[in-house]
Chains A and B, each alone.
Chain A
Amino acid sequence: DTGVSQDPRHKITKRGQNVTFRCDPISEHNRLYWYRQTLGQGPEFLTYFQNEAQLEKSRLLSDRFSAERPKGSFSTLEIQRTEQGDSAMYLCASSRKEGYTFGSGTRLTVV
């Protein structure tokens, strides 16, 4: 059990470019979550998966955002045509029964 891994740790991109983040959950965890956190705020829910099924998407997740979890293992979060307002920390968490384990996050800066 190496915890939840997120890659990359930091990403700087120009406005309008596409970015993709990866999350590797704890192997026996069937639920995987994506959250977004801006400075001084608590994390906000974006979406979550149970196994490979995406069960819910927040209204925060515009059409430019898409998430996948093929085969119920790792997950990717893609942001198309990035905007400056997308700059934030993107956090991934996984869970099996009770309690949630978070990764170190991906810090996105859109310039």
Chain B
Amino acid sequence: KQEVTQIPAALSVPEGENLVLNCSFTDSAIYNLQWFRQDPGKGLTSLLLIQSSQREQTSGRLNASLDKSSGRSTLYIAASQPGDSATYLCAVISSDYKLSFGAGTTVTVRA
């Protein structure tokens, strides 16, 4: 059974600082990995999808890396803004197309 862990559970930074969110998973035989953002009481918004053959994916201020062999992915958010405050979820997609989620990292960016 795939276990996904996200560290830290919560993070508070001043505006402008770069964010580093970590995700680790136990079974390296993954299909893809997807990062999501969730605002309080809302659904999930997709941020980045990394295919298992890729090492990283970038979109604007966001960059996600994937190291399958060590079972890790990292989400970097450059020059954080108060609007980046949310919970960030890592989801590992297995070969049977099911997603396994971590518990998330709750980010607060202070103005």
Q: Is B13 an interface residue (CB 8 A)?
A: no
A43 to B34, CA, bound (A): 13
Contact B89 A42 (CB under 8 A): yes
Q: Is A21 an interface residue (CB 8 A)?
A: no
Main secondary structure of the interface of A (DSSP, over half): strand
Contact B43 A100 (CB under 8 A): no
Contact B98 A45 (CB under 8 A): yes
| Docked complex: B96-111 residues within 8 A CB-CB of A | 96-104
Contact B32 A91 (CB under 8 A): no
Contact B103 A56 (CB under 8 A): no
A99 to B33, CA, bound (A): 9
Q: Is B4 an interface residue (CB 8 A)?
A: yes
A12-20, A60-68, A73-81, A101-109 - interface stretch: A101-109
Contact B46 A101 (CB under 8 A): yes
A107 to B36, CA, bound (A): 19
Q: Is A28 an interface residue (CB 8 A)?
A: no
| Docked complex: B71-98 residues within 8 A CB-CB of A | 89, 91, 93, 96-98
